[in-house]
Chain A
Amino acid sequence: DTAVSQTPKYLVTQMGNDKSIKCEQNLGHDTMYWYKQDSKKFLKIMFSYNNKELIINETVPNRFSPKSPDKAHLNLHINSLELGDSAVYFCASSHSTLGYQPQHFGDGTRLSIL
């Protein structure tokens, strides 16, 4: 059973379009995250939710809007896609927000903007 699953795995779309990425975890974790990994492999936190509440909101364009319908799901909607949005987006989860909790990652969504 996949612990953290995100869909789609690949997303190729035109500039200006709106797209969503979905994430689900079956680990019973309270905390979920969205990360962006660029072509140089830098991993940058975008958002973090704890029990459906937003707790980390890094400097991310407001074209990016996360939504957590329940603590097992965290989706990411992106409006007006730009070339610079091309990256791999990872969803992750952990038991809690405490820094010693390991994070469990999905396999990523590879977003390519044409």
Chain B
Amino acid sequence: SQQGEEDPQALSIQEGENATMNCSYKTSINNLQWYRQNSGRGLVHLILIRSNEREKHSGRLRVTLDTSKKSSSLLITASRAADTASYFCATDDMDSNYQLIWGAGTKLIIKP
């Protein structure tokens, strides 16, 4: 079942700008992961944030998690053309045998 909902569905920005994508979920979770999918390729894991963490950084990526609002955001700073991809959040649902529940993704386009 789909749990996560990414917002916006699509985002188009100029190279060099920051891109922010949001993910909302419905149930209690242990962890939330973000993945990137380039066109015609499989998903690639970017970053994981645990339910007891509020913020995490990895290079140009910054992830926040607000468990009270059941939402997470992914910020990509100083965007590059190579960041053009779809971005998905995935949560591990405590009630579903720890399988990952996936959002519908945000399609990010970086204009040169």
Let me know if A34 is at the binding interface, CB within 8 A: no
Neighbouring B residues of A12 by C-beta, 8 Å:
none
Which bracket fits the contact residues of A? 20 to 34
Instruction: Verify A106–B42 contact, CB threshold 8 A.
Output: yes
Of all chain A residues, the one with the shortest Cβ separation from B92 is: A99
Instruction: Please report the C-alpha to C-alpha distance between residue A42 and residue B88 in the assembled complex, in whole angstroms.
Output: 10
Instruction: Verify A107–B92 contact, CB threshold 8 A.
Output: no
Q: A105-B43, A105-B44, A107-B40 are in contact. Are A99 and B86 (CB under 8 A)?
A: no
Contact with B along A27-55 (1 / 0, CB 8 A): 00000000000001111110010000001
Let me know if B68 is at the binding interface, CB within 8 A: no
Let me know if A104 is at the binding interface, CB within 8 A: yes
Neighbouring B residues of A56 by C-beta, 8 Å:
97, 99
Instruction: Verify A103–B100 contact, CB threshold 8 A.
Output: yes
Q: Jot down 10 A-B pairs with beta carbons below 8 A, ordered by A.
A: A41-B86, A43-B88, A45-B100, A56-B99, A99-B30, A99-B100, A100-B92, A105-B44, A107-B40, A108-B40
